[in-house]
Structure 1
């Protein structure tokens, strides 16, 4: 990894050249680089956390002055809830995954002595633009190296000290491996995002990690394909058949486990038959965690007699808002079809859940909701690459092509076709007299 203040074009061209070398490295060489990176970061823990503390001090002051959101400050803290250890573990988890490069996914005999293969290969050069979250550098570097992609990273100014400290450690570690240093670059030059987004000749995929404003800006400013999501408007539908204890536990975890995360719950949809039976218990459990409920008239009336609740009249905008704090919008619906319609109209296609003991209702919900993750009786907080077994993730995608949901190694791969022959020419084949017919015989993937 290199810290570069080169021009965007020079940085991107160097990354492209490095990607060609990286694509030829063995799995062993790439894994050795990940081990070196992990060990170096572990040894530099105190130095990195000290740099992160300096960033945090400035960020908290900016938040107090109204210049930075509290959710961004929460994402910046690398020492919170074992985040540093999770970052280290993610590197080893990625290292220990099966090599994603060169997997044969199709084999076809076009003719005797003319065989076609489709094999996985890296995308090429990734551009990751992100805010806060200093662990993103290690996550992306690990996934990029394992998948043989080069990566250019551009972080927000609120995490500069953390980014630089982590990058220096990784750079020194990679210098002792076969991975070219230009394969992973942290761009330190300011005001270069628009220039980077214009470099579709060298950069193959952009992954924005940050606020909805950042993601929308990136999507509107480049010809390069963009992988990401703008909002995390996760909704949960409470069916009257749900188990009361299960409902309270899942809703509370979905909302309060980490409210600033994009997979936290923002809207609770309640069947009108569950207003008097299930909602009071769920609301009390949420209130115990300090959650404010923004209710429609029906749900507010159902909760009027429940003590200790923070109830506010909901507005239409509340059902389109990613709060990222201890605020939850509550809306009454007549059934699963209305819940599905609401989510598809107001959600962000991220992760949505149904709580029910009715399997038929659950399957209807999961088939009808147009989101990258649809859950039955499980917290929305499971929408995460580490929890899915991907080692870590480059982000969450709500795209309809290439990759959806938490994006790990598989989402960073594309494929190429390899054709092996013995001098055959296309003019030999076709319909009519004297022409050869293609066999198009599917072959087993393993020789």
Structure 2
């Protein structure tokens, strides 16, 4: 490349870096103005776009300053270091933006926040045996814990109010159909309110649900309670007990203990919703019609994970393995004197990388224990990258030891 052409390339790169920086500033100001309304769906994308443009601007600026196109070792090293630092800071910043701004914007099914909305939904999707007997139902959650990728243990209270007009054949009970283990479900309180009977139960149940871990550890989850009445075929219809909550706005976390024990999770939405379900069986009641698009009541808890815990667990391990691999690469040489001084042997390299591979596999299995089967999570990019690096270091050591190795592998003793 001629010197004139290099100057032209340098000028283009400099102009592009300034343009990217300018766009980044515009998007930052837009994100700041939108933040006044605190709309996660509007604020998040501009902030992320601004961060990405800032990263591009800094990378282009590094090219303009250090001039790697001259192919001088110092310029190449400085550009590589600047790019590495910029990308690391950019990734950390993007994680923070995603953690703060991007959230699930809806509960499971159709959210209802008032008696009027619940009545409108049930009018549009009438349950079997409508109008039936409406039973106000409420929940109060005190703690939850993920036992595995699909199972979550939840404890709290559920209550129902039965008007005196509800006949005795309507069973006074509530069912969690998606629970796989009920450790405790006992009546804690019963009171005659004059015109209704109030019953409150304490429960500790394990729910089994399908969660999305593709963005782990930046994931959001919706833990829901699907609520049934054992007397639904007799006309029992569950409705939210809005009157029992001081605030029903999902962002105010109705039905959630203020000091809920949630581990590494942070609740940010809760509330009631309805979802439609169809059953392909009559459950033995052959004289009744099939249930198609029947409304069912849900109570939801939307949570987001504190990503710092998983990253502090897995990122230092990844950096340590990558550092060891880099050290092995630096020791690689075809110079007999240097090989003797370093004790470099191809078989020793293979044995070392094999041991590192086993360690990475064990660490990867620990990640797989957290996520659901059949899903690949975002954080698994770390072990997959290490697999590739281990393979490349091993192949490099084998090829370098061959008598017909390309001259490329002898150039600067792996310091390319």
Normalised by the length of structure 2, the TM-score is 0.22
| Bigger proportion of residues as helix | 2
Greater relative contact order: 1 or 2 (C-alpha under 8 angstroms, separation 6 or more)? 1
